[in-house]
Chain A
Amino acid sequence: MARRDLTVERPQPKTRYRVLAHNSHVLKDWQELVRQRRQAAVDLWDHIAATPTTPVGARYLPLKGDQAHFHYEGQDLRQWQYEVDNRARVKVAVGASFVLITSVSLGHPKANE
């Protein structure tokens, strides 16, 4: 009798939102973020895939002014920003069933406290 495969797959969290990158440039930056800050990227992904409209202290917040919305496929989606750390930020736009990563930024302005 053949042995049954006993491999236990890593459980995946339940997600309600499909996560998309706006384009290949954003995807490339996202992959660099994953390379540099893997666990933070996992935490970020888990949060936006499950609860993208729930703030996380000062780390994940809705934006204001011209940054408040992102125009995508005829809709103005509410835009949020996840601050990974002082030198990395990810902006996302939240749709009805998806979250669009609109930009990934690695760096900081001189004026940043």
Chain B
Amino acid sequence: MPVAERTLTEFLQHSGRVLPEVERGEVVLRRRDGDSLVLISQSHWEALAKSFTAVAEAARDLESRCQCPPAPRTGEFALSWLSLLSEQEQRECLRELSQALVAALADGKFESLVNTLAQWRATALATWDDAQKPTGYWEGAPLDVERP
């Protein structure tokens, strides 16, 4: 079912018309100055949080129990930069993201999840950058760098 869209003004002036739509799913409230907002009922949010938590914990359980060799990759990574990390770091990254996701869903604060994602993405790019450096790039004595 497509997501319902209203303007924030419509919601503020005629909330009685918009609230029944919230019972059916999320409603996007468009604003003239700023990001759109998403209105969602508490029970819907709790169901979403519970689902994400279940998926994250299932993925973690599966990884810790599975003795099988890694399955061949059948498509692109959902996070395209993940492939730039070593296999061990890919697992570490996903483990941290799962933990951060579960914590975020528990307390409603997503900043830690966003930061963790950004740090691992930066790490993936740094890893790729290092692999492009020529032999001898890391040798030599330090030099002062003046303000440009």
Contacts and interface: CB of A to CB of B under 8 A. Distances in A.
A18 B144 CA distance: 8
A65 B132 contact: no
Contacts of B96: 64
A38 interface: yes
Interface string B86-125: 1001001100100000000000000000110011111101
Interface string B7-21: 000000000000000
A109 interface: yes
Q: What is the size category of the interface that chain B forms with chain A? A: 35 or more
Given A89-B129, A105-B129, A113-B81, A63 B145 contact: no
- The binding surface of chain A is classed by DSSP as mixed
Contacts, number: 119
B83 interface: yes
A22 B147 contact: no
Contacts of A18: 144
B130 A103 contact: yes
Interface in A10-52: 12-13, 15, 18-27, 30, 34, 38, 41-42, 45-46, 49
B131 to A, nearest CB: 9
Interface string A75-110: 000010101000001010000000011010101110
A81 B145 contact: no
